[in-house]
Amino acid sequence: MTIRPELSDWTPVTCDVLVIGGGATGLGVAVQAALEGRSVVLVEARDFASGTSSRSTKLLHGGVRYLAQGRIQLVREALRERAIVLGLAPHLAQPLPFVVQERRWGFWALTLIGLKLYQWLAGRLSLGPTQALSLQALKGSGPVLPATVAGVRFWDGQFEDARLALALAQTAHESGARVRNHVRVVGLVQHGRGWQVSLQDAMSAQLATLHADCVVNATGVWVDAMRQLALHKETPSSESHAAGEPTKIGHGLVKPSQGVHWVVDRALLPLQEAVLVPRTSDGRVLFAVPWLGATVIGTTDTPREDAPLEPRPMAEELAFLLNETEQAFGVRLRAQDVKSVWVGLRPLVATSPSGGTAKMSREHLIAREASGFVTVTGGKWTTYRNMAQEVMAALVDAGDLPAPQRDAHTERHMLFGAPPPRTPPVSLRDAPGLHLFGAQAAKVAGAPGADENLGLGLTAAMVRYSAQSEWAITVEDMLARRWRVLFLDARLAARMAPRVAELLQQETGIDPALPAFLALCAQYQMPPSHC
Residue 261: inside a domain, yes or no? Answer: yes
Mean local confidence (pLDDT), 315-327: 91
Residue 409: inside a domain, yes or no? Answer: no
Please, is 316 exposed, middle or buried when counting C-beta atoms within 10 Å of its C-beta (0-12, 13-18, 19+)? exposed
Residue 284: inside a domain, yes or no? Answer: yes
Task: Give pLDDT tens digits for 387-416.
Answer: 999 999 999 999 999 999 999 999 999 999
Yes or no: say if 373 and 230 are a contact pair by the CB < 8 Å rule: yes
Query: Which CATH number goes with the domain that contains 361?
Result: 3.50.50.60
Same domain (yes/no): 153, 264: yes
Residue 72: inside a domain, yes or no? Answer: no
Last residue of a domain, one of 317, 347, 377: 347
Same domain (yes/no): 237, 262: no
Same domain (yes/no): 240, 200: yes
Residue 422: inside a domain, yes or no? Answer: no
Comparing CA positions, the residue from 53, 89, 79 lying closest to residue 428 is: 89
Same domain (yes/no): 387, 357: yes
Please, is 37 exposed, middle or buried when counting C-beta atoms within 10 Å of its C-beta (0-12, 13-18, 19+)? middle
Residue 404: inside a domain, yes or no? Answer: no
User: SS3 of 223, please?
Assistant: helix
In this predicted structure, what is the pLDDT of residue 233?
A: 55
- Sorted by sequence, the CB contacts under 8 Å of residue 136 that are 6+ apart come out as none
Same domain (yes/no): 248, 355: yes
Yes or no: say if 74 and 363 are a contact pair by the CB < 8 Å rule: yes
Same domain (yes/no): 244, 356: yes
- In the structure, what pLDDT confidence band is assigned to residue 123 with cuts at 50, 70 and 90? very high
Same domain (yes/no): 29, 114: no
Same domain (yes/no): 34, 175: yes
Last residue of a domain, one of 313, 347, 381: 347
Same domain (yes/no): 441, 526: yes
Residue 509: inside a domain, yes or no? Answer: yes
Range of the domain at 99: 95-157+256-347
Same domain (yes/no): 129, 277: yes
Same domain (yes/no): 386, 327: no
Task: Give pLDDT tens digits for 330-383.
Answer: 888 988 999 999 999 999 887 656 544 345 444 789 999 999 999 999 989 999
Yes or no: say if 282 and 256 are a contact pair by the CB < 8 Å rule: no
Give the Cα separation of 435 and 348 in Å (integer): 34
As for how many domains the chain has, the answer is 3
Task: Give pLDDT tens digits for 434-467.
Answer: 999 999 999 999 989 999 999 999 999 999 999 9
Residue 123: inside a domain, yes or no? Answer: yes
In this predicted structure, what is the pLDDT of residue 258?
A: 92
In this predicted structure, what is the pLDDT of residue 250?
A: 43
Give the Cα separation of 386 and 209 in Å (integer): 31
Per-residue pLDDT at 468 exceeds 70:
yes
- In the structure, what pLDDT confidence band is assigned to residue 328 with cuts at 50, 70 and 90? confident
- Sorted by sequence, the CB contacts under 8 Å of residue 435 that are 6+ apart come out as 91, 425, 426, 441
Helical H runs in 140-222? 161-174
Query: Which CATH number goes with the domain that contains 149?
Result: 3.30.9.10
Per-residue pLDDT at 237 exceeds 70:
no
Same domain (yes/no): 442, 521: yes
pTM of full prediction above 0.75: yes
Task: Give pLDDT tens digits for 29-69.
Answer: 999 999 999 999 999 999 999 999 999 999 999 888 788 78
